[in-house]
Amino acid sequence: MQECYIKDFPDKIDQEIIIKGWVANRRSSGKLSFLILRDGTGICQVIVEKALFPDTYSEIKKLPLESSVIIQGRVVKEDRAQGGFEVHASHVQIVHVSDEFPIGKKEHGPDFLLKNRHLWLRTPRQIAIMRIRDALIRHIRTYFYTNDFTLIDSPILTTTCGEDTSSLFSIDYFDLGKAYLSQTGQLYLEAAISGLGKVYCFGPTFRAERSKTRRHLTEFWMIEGEMAFYDHKQNLDLQEDFVSYIVQNTIRDKAQELAVLERDLAPLKKIEAPFNRISYDEALDILHKNGSNIEWGSDLGGDDETVITRLFDKPVFIESYPKKTKAFYMKQDPARPECVLCADLLAPEGYGEIIGGSQREDNLDILMQSITDNGLDPERYDWYLDLRRYGSVPHSGFGLGLERTLTWICGLTHLRETIPFPRMIYRAYP
Amino acid sequence: MQECYIKDFPDKIDQEIIIKGWVANRRSSGKLSFLILRDGTGICQVIVEKALFPDTYSEIKKLPLESSVIIQGRVVKEDRAQGGFEVHASHVQIVHVSDEFPIGKKEHGPDFLLKNRHLWLRTPRQIAIMRIRDALIRHIRTYFYTNDFTLIDSPILTTTCGEDTSSLFSIDYFDLGKAYLSQTGQLYLEAAISGLGKVYCFGPTFRAERSKTRRHLTEFWMIEGEMAFYDHKQNLDLQEDFVSYIVQNTIRDKAQELAVLERDLAPLKKIEAPFNRISYDEALDILHKNGSNIEWGSDLGGDDETVITRLFDKPVFIESYPKKTKAFYMKQDPARPECVLCADLLAPEGYGEIIGGSQREDNLDILMQSITDNGLDPERYDWYLDLRRYGSVPHSGFGLGLERTLTWICGLTHLRETIPFPRMIYRAYP
């Protein structure tokens, strides 16, 4: 007798096998009971014939949903069944009779589902999203590997901060005072390029923002790449190649799961380099023509991004932001010192920013000035300034938000379903 | 003119190329200057002939170490040169003249090196370790992928704790009170198996322990696997297959980097399943014969592990620990209720514990009792208890410490070199 998984059924036709899983659904019709079994690799229909189970049929027939069972039976090809196969049971072992499962077929509100995230994860849409996430992450890592990047895991606990210092989570770090949860690994990656050339990190990052929007999580995963001797243009070329690669590979691999989500793949199939590139100034022109009165020097908001992305069917880079809207480490444009050599990449269909990137300031004096101008303590950045003292080079990098990218690929409206256990300002349980 | 990397030289023989990098070393002899250039993919010797550079030779000849340069020249095969090639320079552009690099050829103490970790990372041993780390991580992920595991990133910010609650870092989480930095993703993985069967997580974990040993970091990376319908024995079988796979693949891929570390590969080549398995009771016998007076019911310490691992040339599982020495979620052995169905895996050559694993308690009543007995608040674990209310199944899992495993593979004496920016109780900078 061979234990197997549902995904292996094509190789098991007419064989007697054992499968183990959960009753995702069931129905009965007189002398037959049909159990829809989920084993983590797929779904199949199990047919339990009353005549074969004189003692236990009545219990099997009423088995609560989500009960766990071990089924022995024969695999039969059946095109009408979900997945194309069914199992004719010869033995049914009930492992655990479930309490009444709280998530049913009726609509539940997001609050109820998030409170029951540990159970919600068993339902078909959530399983599909988790599998797409898994594939997306794999393709991201493969891209970096095949392009000669070395993984450098940047620290989470840090005393040097890369982004907005007003949205930091802090902890008491033994006798050293406060430490903070990392918002970016970039500064650390910049240290690593001198030994390794092209490096990346991929880990959780944290923002203690009181933002209650569909685009914000307090804990999310970010992929950051940093490349020695790359200028701004090479940085954008790499980003569009990267994004095209991960989108095309993920939708090819996970077509079945994207179908569960009813995602229209047509817009995603168009995602290939080159992407559109417009300047911040051009973006402002577009917004003004659409009735906005945004002033030069303001950062773009989520609604502004939505307006712009709807004009393009591919992602669009917005380049050359005013220096004062961006982080201290971005390189001042020598031709236009009030702007920096940066770009945000906005995903189409209204999704908005998925990447922020820039060439980095490699001049020691300008960088020191920039740290001071931003009200930061130069002493905390002394090690970072060292990188401009010992063989400074032109270099660039970018960070891609995993959950924002996944929300776009899956065609969802809210980030909260794209991470196994979402953390928001009002939620850190389960 | 073609820009290329040093690793590509075998395809560029006798071609004129451009390379960009840092001066890792140099020497001069009258009319020739030899620059050892590092570009992140390798090392090569660049020959600068005085006659070709009448105006700049004196500057090139004295270029401080770690200065950044762009070299144009011809690739020449030269078996006597490091890497097997050299470049005959036709053009040298100095990008940045470095200040005097603080890490030289003399011995530096660990405190000095750790303070300068951002610069130390450029030196040959550290580059080798980071490359081995990158490969090890890749093989770990490949193993899980090819064995049908789905990645489930568990949350870092948590209000439910899996391990020792006395060593938690805490933060103020908006209006929700305290949240903690995760010590394990296991409890969350247990929720995910019901939808996905076999799952894993791989992320940073935190222990606020005041341990100043060579085996402790406050922030380290852990790989955890969790498998539905796996019992204790299947769990060990998978672990030994997994560890054999990652060790053999890493030492095959990174032989060159391991040679930089002068790691003897002979002991690592022996690492293949099956591993040794002894019981906790047998371990105590061994320790008693070696002069220890450890009592039944005590956990094994680092020195105890060292004694045991020296008796075996492969990793050894120590099974069946007393329940009171282990975490609340481990399954009570039905045949011996004072013990749990668990095992620690100790690496040979004195390295000690790299994996902790167990079958998990799947009985609701026993688990609730265990939570109470451990002085934990059952209310915080209510979602976790749900997993035993809705289709509970036998299941098992394990966690492998990345840096401990890498310390062993690299043959190092201290964990601090195995992570880009180590965090210890007295160090969170750079």
Number of cross-chain residue pairs from A and B with Cβ atoms under 8 Å apart: 262
Q: What secondary structure does DSSP assign to A109-157, as a single string?
A: -HHHHHHTHHHHTTSHHHHHHHHHHHHHHHHHHHHHHHTT-EE----SE
Residue B58: helix, strand or coil by DSSP? Answer: helix
Stretch B288-315: mean pLDDT, rounded? 95
Q: Is A203 on the interface with B (CB under 8 A)?
A: yes
Cα A169 from Cα B181, distance rounded (Å): 11
Q: Is B140 on the interface with A (CB under 8 A)?
A: no
Handedness of CA A366, A372, A375, A380 (dihedral sign): positive
Could you tell me which residues come within 8 angstroms of residue A74 by beta carbon, excluding any fewer than 6 positions away? A14, A15, A16, A17, A87, A88, A90
Tell me if B187 sits within 8 A of B386, measured CB to CB. no
Is the model's pLDDT at B159 over the cut of 90? no
CA atoms within 13 Å, Cβ hemisphere of A73: 30
Could you tell me which residues come within 8 angstroms of residue A280 by beta carbon, excluding any fewer than 6 positions away? A318, A319, A320, A321, A322, A339
Write down the pLDDT at residue B164.
67
pLDDT band at A30; cut points 50, 70, 90: confident
Ramachandran area for residue A61 (φ above 0: left; ψ -120 to 50: alpha; else beta) = alpha
Write down the pLDDT at residue A164.
67
Residues 100-129 of B with CB under 8 A from A: 101, 116-119, 121-123, 126-127
From the list B270, B272, B312, B304, the residue with the least C-alpha distance to B288 is B304
Write down the pLDDT at residue B104.
86
Q: Supply B299's token pair.
A: 């956990």
Determine how many CB atoms are found less than 10 A away from the CB of residue A234. Answer: 14
Could you tell me which residues come within 8 angstroms of residue A267 by beta carbon, excluding any fewer than 6 positions away? A313, A348, A349
Residues 238-297 of A with CB under 8 A from B: none
Residue type, B387: L
Determine how many CB atoms are found less than 10 A away from the CB of residue B428. Answer: 24
Nearest CA in chain A to B364: A96
Q: Calculate what percentage of chain A has a pLDDT beyond 70.
A: 99
Q: Is B393 on the interface with A (CB under 8 A)?
A: yes
B234-256: pLDDT as tens digits:
999 999 999 999 999 999 999 99
CATH 2.40.50.140 residue spans of chain B: 2-96
Could you tell me which residues come within 8 angstroms of residue A11 by beta carbon, excluding any fewer than 6 positions away? none
B16-67: pLDDT as tens digits:
999 999 999 999 988 999 999 999 999 999 999 999 999 999 999 999 999 9
The minimal CB distance from A219 to the residues B40, B157, B221 is found for B157
Measured CA angle at B42 (ends B36, B44), to 5 deg = 30
Partners of A342 in beta bridges: A358
The minimal CB distance from B156 to the residues A154, A174, A204 is found for A204
Determine how many CB atoms are found less than 10 A away from the CB of residue B247. Answer: 22
**Stretch among A100-109, A324-333, B365-374 having the lowest mean pLDDT:** A100-109
Q: Which of A390, A403, A423 to mutate to test the interface with B (most CBs of B within 10 A)?
A: A390
Write down the pLDDT at residue A105.
73
Torsion of CA B39, B41, B45, B46, to 10 degrees: -40
Write down the pLDDT at residue B124.
96
Q: Supply A209's token pair.
A: 């923002």
Q: What secondary structure does DSSP assign to B383-402, as a single string?
A: HHHHTTTSS---EEEEEEEH
Q: Is A200 on the interface with B (CB under 8 A)?
A: no
Could you tell me which residues come within 8 angstroms of residue A76 by beta carbon, excluding any fewer than 6 positions away? A13, A14, A85, A86, A87, A88
Chain B residue numbers touching A145 (CB-CB < 8 A): 138
Q: Is B429 on the interface with A (CB under 8 A)?
A: yes
What's phi and psi for A388, nearest 5 deg?
-95, 0
Cα A382 from Cα A159, distance rounded (Å): 12
Write down the pLDDT at residue A161.
72
Chain centroid to CA A8: 28
Cα A31 from Cα A50, distance rounded (Å): 5
- Burial class from Cβ neighbours inside 10 Å (0-12, 13-18, 19+) for residue B280 reads buried
Is the model's pLDDT at B125 over the cut of 80? yes
Nearest CA in chain A to B191: A118
The minimal CB distance from B148 to the residues A41, A192, A387 is found for A41
Locate tokens 């950045």: which residue? A381
Chain centroid to CA B357: 18
Cα B93 from Cα A229, distance rounded (Å): 13
Is the model's pLDDT at B211 over the cut of 80? no
Stretch A308-320: mean pLDDT, rounded? 96
Locate tokens 């209650």: which residue? A212
Greatest Cα pair distance in chain A: 86
Q: Is A419 on the interface with B (CB under 8 A)?
A: yes
Locate tokens 């010797």: which residue? B45
The minimal CB distance from A188 to the residues B169, B221, B420 is found for B420
Q: Calculate what percentage of chain A has a pLDDT beyond 90.
A: 92
A84-96: pLDDT as tens digits:
999 999 999 999 9
Q: Which fold has domain B2-96?
A: OB fold (Dihydrolipoamide Acetyltransferase, E2P) (2.40.50)
Nearest CA in chain A to B385: A118
A363-399: pLDDT as tens digits:
999 999 999 999 998 999 999 999 999 999 999 999 9
Q: Is B174 on the interface with A (CB under 8 A)?
A: yes
CATH 3.30.930.10 residue spans of chain A: 115-418
Burial B389-409 (b: 16+ CB within 10 A, else e): bbbbbbbbbbbbbbbbbbbbb
8-state DSSP, A10: G
Chain centroid to CA A363: 34
A234-264: pLDDT as tens digits:
999 999 999 999 999 999 999 999 999 999 9
Cα B152 from Cα B228, distance rounded (Å): 14
pLDDT band at B313; cut points 50, 70, 90: very high
Q: Is A196 on the interface with B (CB under 8 A)?
A: yes
Is the model's pLDDT at A421 over the cut of 70? yes
Write down the pLDDT at residue B162.
65
Element (H, E) at A17: strand A16-29
**Stretch among A158-167, A413-422, B394-403, B409-418 having the lowest mean pLDDT:** A158-167
Which stretches does DSSP call E strand in A288-408? 316-319, 332-333, 336-340, 342-347, 352-359, 395-401
Q: Is B155 on the interface with A (CB under 8 A)?
A: yes
pLDDT band at B140; cut points 50, 70, 90: very high
The minimal CB distance from B425 to the residues A148, A171, A174 is found for A174
CB distance A383–B430 less than 8 Å?
yes
Which stretches does DSSP call E strand in A311-401? 316-319, 332-333, 336-340, 342-347, 352-359, 395-401
Q: Is A23 on the interface with B (CB under 8 A)?
A: yes
Is the model's pLDDT at A34 over the cut of 90? yes
Tell me if A197 sits within 8 A of A228, measured CB to CB. yes
CA atoms within 13 Å, Cβ hemisphere of A135: 23
Locate tokens 């609050």: which residue? A111
pLDDT band at B106; cut points 50, 70, 90: confident
Residue A193: helix, strand or coil by DSSP? Answer: helix
Burial A285-317 (b: 16+ CB within 10 A, else e): eebeeeebeeeeeeebeeebbebbbeeeebbbb
Q: How far is A317 from chain B (nearest CA, A)?
A: 26
Q: Which fold has domain B115-418?
A: BirA Bifunctional Protein; domain 2 (3.30.930)
Cα B236 from Cα B259, distance rounded (Å): 31
Three state DSSP letters for B221-268 = EEEEEEEECCCHHHHHHHHHHHHHHHHHHHHHHCHHHHHHCCCCCHHH
Q: Is A93 on the interface with B (CB under 8 A)?
A: no
Q: Is A72 on the interface with B (CB under 8 A)?
A: no
Write down the pLDDT at residue B257.
98
Chain A residue numbers touching B154 (CB-CB < 8 A): 420-421
Q: What is the pTM of this model?
A: 0.98
Q: How far is B309 from chain A (nearest CA, A)?
A: 30
Chain centroid to CA B419: 7
Q: Which of A421, A423, A425, A427 to mutate to test the interface with B (most CBs of B within 10 A)?
A: A421
Residue A412: helix, strand or coil by DSSP? Answer: coil
Q: How far is B367 from chain A (nearest CA, A)?
A: 15
Stretch A74-93: mean pLDDT, rounded? 94
Is the model's pLDDT at B83 over the cut of 90? no
For A57, A89, A366, the CA distances from A64, given in Å and listed in that order, are 14, 18, 67
Could you tell me which residues come within 8 angstroms of residue A65 by beta carbon, excluding any fewer than 6 positions away? A23, A24, A25, A26, A98, A101
CB distance B158–A428 less than 8 Å?
yes
Element (H, E) at A33: strand A32-38
Q: Which of A38, A153, A396, A403 to mutate to test the interface with B (most CBs of B within 10 A)?
A: A153
Write down the pLDDT at residue A162.
65
From the list A211, A224, A225, the residue with the least C-alpha distance to A166 is A211
The minimal CB distance from B194 to the residues A22, A173, A204 is found for A22
Cα B309 from Cα A32, distance rounded (Å): 57
For A4, A227, A273, B167, the CA distances from A238, given in Å and listed in that order, are 43, 10, 10, 42
From the list B353, B347, B410, B348, the residue with the least C-alpha distance to B130 is B410
Element (H, E) at A68: strand A68-77
A154-170: pLDDT as tens digits:
999 998 776 667 789 99
A264-313: pLDDT as tens digits:
999 999 999 999 999 999 999 999 999 999 999 999 999 999 999 999 99
Q: Are strands B316-319 and B342-347 parallel, antiparallel or unpaired?
A: antiparallel
Partners of B175 in beta bridges: none
